[in-house]
Structure 1
Amino acid sequence: MRIAELVWSKGESLFEVHLDETGDDLTQDGCLDHPPTDDEIAGLLPSWWVCLGCGTRIDDSQADMIVDHVRGCDLVDGAGQPVRPERHPAA
């Protein structure tokens, strides 16, 4: 997590919160006028659906993208469950 302070010429400050991994700006809909608290940061974090087969991460508000991924991912079955190789008992 990275917090950036934007200082304007009149001395006013605004704060942005970015994800380290992707650089996504979690405050793109509106900067904060004070340094964010831990609770405020937690409220900005998206919820993710993670493919159990390949580990792809999709914002869980994007249901259509999740369905498309499950249909197209070679590492999950149609129900979104990981495809595991069958294990044969030792002879």
Structure 2
Amino acid sequence: MGHIIDEIEHGTRTVNGIDVTIRELVWNDLGRSFEVHRVDTGEDLTEDGCFDTLPTDEQIADPLADRQPDWWICRGCGTRIDARTGADLIVEHVRDGDPVDGAGNPIGGPR
């Protein structure tokens, strides 16, 4: 099995109103593949299989349509986390954050 010897960033594109980044992976057998990630959630849209060539907007639109985020929003600070992919981040945020009531007002005194 090959291994990655280089990564080339191809910047950010907006597809159907969603910003995505494209990363080219160069393999030791001289093969190449392309990963696509959402900017807002970091989700890898190509985890089920990378593109063999630089993808078009139409090719990127297909996996985007199947993966809309399920936003969890902290009532205290307004932080948004995709609940589908960031459940551990939500737990950490709630555990490590300052306690607030349902209206976002601090509860108790200083820590």
Normalized against structure 2, the TM-score is what?
0.43
- The structure having more radius of gyration, on CA atoms, is 1
Of Structure 1 and Structure 2, which has the larger fraction of its residues in strand? 2
